[in-house]
Amino acid sequence: MFEKYPIRHRGTVKNIREVVPFTDTKMGEAIFEFTDDTSIKDYGKLPFSTPYKGSDLCAMAMQCFCDLEKMGIKTIFKEQIADRALLVDYVRVMDPEKIDLTKVRKNRLIPLEFIIRNIITETSSAKKRLEKGLLSFTALGLSSSLTHFPYLLPKMYLDGSTKLGITDEYLPWDVLKDLAKESSYHLNQIEIMTKQIGLYALQKGSDIGLVINDFKVEWALDDKGDVILADVPLTLDEITTAYIGKKFSSLEEVFEGDFSIFVPGKVHDMKAHLNISKQIYRDHYMAKEPLWIEALEKAKKEKKPYPEALAPPQDLILHTSDLFGGIRNLWCDAKRPSKNLEKAAKDFKIWASSFYDLEALV
């Protein structure tokens, strides 16, 4: 049983267990143990669990790792060893503020997150940065500022943020490059491969009716100094996505019609598309616990203890589990008993329309 291996990092949604220690010159082996836990807005582990979530994320991760390996993208993946556990290569994690990474060119994490953005949504961090003047519309390939959301970008935009701090910090690429002590050659490699993953995600999504708004990935240097995909890609904790209920050939086709989003407490149109991922839980707290959201943001800004979160209703948790299972069964070869995604989405909308007060969000 994989539980016999010691936990070296206890994450909010995933634990890392050490199987073979890494050395200065050689990668080790570790186990990614997926849990049923959820974290939003950098809060940490929320006080509830979603049935089958760990299994669903593990299945999606394995499917993506295998597909990307076939595309020629090197990854840390070795094999699936349990329903919610993957055996992976184990690289060192080094703080660039404490260690000169220019002298460590092998066997370490690149301390950055790489984000692909296809669509800027109402709740996207990119929208907030645009409003605050921290992100230029010209950087997104636009000739003017945005006035409505969601908005389809003309092409994928590669965003970047810090990785090892308490919260992610979006910074210009020259600053991120200097912080990570990474070469232009490797950053160019990473951009190309990240966009390859982006094309894979768009194709996968179009086949099952999922619009991939954005996603994040992480990279490392292996023990030969080559760039390697270092964390799980395209699971429901790494993407934001909307289910539109039918296959499509392009994002332009999707945006030709009414691209409205079902938002609990704000938009209860049964024909609207449904945000699926941990955004479901974000929407809940914004609709039912706005004072907690406000207090959390204040605490983060003032670097004070976070206010205690309340668990959402059990009905929401069960609906979310059904939605996750519906996506997993369309995305992966490995299935589990679950409602199909179309029915799960319809049932959620009916329940949410009754549970949430319309116009609760401000």
Considering the chain, what is the average pLDDT of its residues? 94
Q: Letter for the amino acid at 119? A: I
Task: Answer for the pair 221, 107: CB distance below 8 angstroms, yes or no.
Answer: yes
Q: Is residue 360 part of a domain?
A: no
Cβ-count burial 284-319 (b if 16+ within 10 Å, e if not): bbbbbbeebbeebeeeeeeeeeebebeebeeebbeb
Q: Give per-residue pLDDT as tens, 21-61.
A: 999 999 999 999 999 999 998 899 999 999 999 999 999 99
**Could you report how far apart the first and last alpha carbons of the chain are, in Å?**
49
* Domain total of the chain: 2
Domain of residue 329, CATH code: 3.30.470.20
| Per-residue H/E/C for 76-94 | CEEEEEECCEEEEEECECC
Q: Per-residue confidence at 362, pLDDT binned at 50, 70, 90?
A: very low
Q: CB neighbours (10 Å) of residue 98?
A: 7
Q: Give per-residue pLDDT as tens, 230-239.
A: 999 999 999 9
Cβ-count burial 155-181 (b if 16+ within 10 Å, e if not): ebbbbbbbbeeeebebbeeeebbebbb
Q: Is residue 361 part of a domain?
A: no
Tokens 């190309």 belong to 192
Q: Is residue 216 part of a domain?
A: yes
Q: Give per-residue pLDDT as tens, 79-123.
A: 999 999 999 999 999 999 899 999 999 999 999 999 999 999 988
Could you tell me if 148 and 27 lie in one domain?
no
Residue 25 belongs to domain spanning? 2-90
Q: What is the pTM of this model?
A: 0.93
Domain boundary pick from 50, 71, 90: 90
Identify the CA nearest to 226 among candidates 110, 99, 63, 88: 110
Q: Is the pLDDT of residue 359 over 70?
A: no
CA distances from 165 to 97, 162, 189 (A): 11, 7, 24
Tokens 């082996």 belong to 29
Q: Is residue 304 part of a domain?
A: yes
